[in-house]
Amino acid sequence: MTDSAGPPGRPPSVGARITLDIERAAHGGHCVGRHDGRVVFVRHALPGERVEAVVTGHGAKARFLRADAVTVLVASPDRVDAPCSHAGAGGCGGCDWQHASRGAQLAIKGEILREQLHRLGGLDEVEGVALAESVSVEAVPGDVDGLGWRTRVRYAVTAEGRPGFRRHRSHGTEAVERCPLVTDAVDAVGATRLTWPGAEEVEVVASSGGDRAVQVEPTTASRTTGLDRDVAVRGLRGRTWVRELAGGREWRVQSSGFWQVHPGAPDALVAAVREALDPQPGEHLLDLYSGVGLFAGCLAADLGSESRIDAVEFSVDACKDARRNLHDLPQVRIHQGDVEAWLGSGAVDTVDLVVLDPPRSGAGAAVLDHVLDLAPRAIAYVACDPAALGRDVRFLHGAGWRVASVRGFDLFPMTQHLEAVALLLPAG
Ligand SMILES: C[S@@+](CC[C@H](N)C(=O)[O-])C[C@H]1O[C@@H](n2cnc3c(N)ncnc32)[C@H](O)[C@@H]1O
């Protein structure tokens, strides 16, 4: 390795150019290289490459560096031309892996999922099969090139009122007129071809049920001119909710509320949870972090009318939507509140099955402790952060539970994000 940035041992300053051999991909949308014994987290590179990189920052006490690859000296066979001109060093921070082939993106995400399960979860294998053979990340059915999947997108807005995306680790915004990740329906709303003076964010939704909505922060910067008449504008006109389709049902979801962004995601996750839990008629299911009721509503068909399903969700609006979405399923009870507090209240003594779909921070020890007290026969853990899944798996393992399967899903192609569904069973 060469260094034009100063004597060995002292960290090169921000802006210095260094040459790096790239070792592997890491959680966070970057790769790992080394410079004078220091770890360097390098964006826009791929494992096996040699790159020239510009130092963009230092970690605490300069124990590690951040850098952007700017010239590829030895390219990986997995490298492709990024489909978007805004991707790359200094550009839009929304995507991390546009320069990797789709196959390589899935392989990288699989590696990261396995690494987090091993390092944070303490897992070496799943049911006697090494992680390398038992855990991988799959594309969503129907996804071909990883483009055109975003049904919900939140744009940052430049000082001139133009929508775009934040640059990586920056408050600066790159104006982007056509993001290749959004669906044609989101693009057709036309929000990026308008200016939004005074706005900080503009969120656009084009739902699978055919509804279109725009939400602006602050709402005083909203406008209707230039938008088609059917586009709802929160605070100015139209409904506050959109219709989504999944599991053969229609779902009402607040346009600002939680719903999976990839149109293939809800069905893929429901199928994985169903396969993992194998719900039987009459069983009692707990759907924790239930949103507008996706898992409760879809698994109700398997569990039947003699079953009981308790769904627990914090958001008042999501609970209202869930009650409406599931009004035809008398076996479902929706509980509005904090999951930990609800479990701690002793509302249920035992359950058969649990779906856990927590936010990025994970469920955590206190919630898991309560869940284990209910002695379920199986837990399906739906995770949007593999690190949180790893930490919670370690806790469950320590409490005598075992991981029986893990499936990863690329619900966010081109980006660093991945989703996983893990089945946990009592050991023995
Ligand atoms: C990843 S979303 C899952 C939603 C739903 N399962 C779905 O698939 O559409 C996580 C949900 O947990 C809710 N949530 C976050 N923290 C919570 C808490 N402490 N107690 C209850 N719900 C919470 C959020 O409002 C959000 O709806």
Contact 274, 302 (CB under 8 A): yes
Matching CATH number, 265-426, of 3.40.50.150, 3.30.365.10, 2.40.50.220, 3.20.20.70: 3.40.50.150
Give the integer Cα–Cα distance in Å for 257 and 92.
Answer: 25
Contact 86, 176 (CB under 8 A): yes
Torsion sign (Cα): 6, 9, 14, 16: positive
* Plot region of 228 (φ>0 → left; ψ -120 to 50 → alpha; else → beta): beta
pLDDT in tens, the chain (428 residues): 444 444 457 899 999 999 999 999 999 999 999 999 999 999 999 999 999 999 999 998 889 999 999 999 999 999 999 999 999 999 999 999 999 999 999 999 999 999 999 999 999 999 999 999 999 999 999 898 999 999 999 999 999 999 999 999 999 999 999 999 999 999 999 999 999 999 999 999 999 999 999 999 999 999 999 999 999 999 999 999 999 999 999 999 999 999 999 999 999 999 999 999 999 999 999 999 999 999 999 999 999 999 999 999 999 999 999 999 999 999 999 999 999 999 999 999 999 999 999 999 999 999 999 999 999 999 999 999 999 999 999 999 999 999 999 999 999 999 999 999 999 999 97
Closest CA to ligand 1's atom 13: 289
Q: In the chain, what are the domain boundaries?
A: 17-74, 152-254, 265-426
Q: Is 298 a catalytic residue?
A: no
Give the integer Cα–Cα distance in Å for 59 and 84.
Answer: 29
Closest CA to ligand 1's atom 4: 291
Give the integer Cα–Cα distance in Å for 313 and 368.
Answer: 16
The token pair at 311 is 């769904």
CATH fold of 17-74: OB fold (Dihydrolipoamide Acetyltransferase, E2P) (2.40.50)
Closest CA to ligand 1's atom 11: 289
From 410, 408, 379, 417, select the one nearest 135 (Cα to Cα).
Answer: 408
Residues with CB under 6 A from ligand 1: 258-259, 289-291, 294-295, 312-315, 318, 338-339, 357, 359, 384
CA of 307 to the centre of ligand 1 (A): 23
CA of 355 to the centre of ligand 1 (A): 11
Q: Which amino acid is at 383?
A: A
- Report the DSSP beta bridge partners of residue 402: 425
CB-CB neighbours of 239 under 10 Å: 13
CA of 315 to the centre of ligand 1 (A): 8
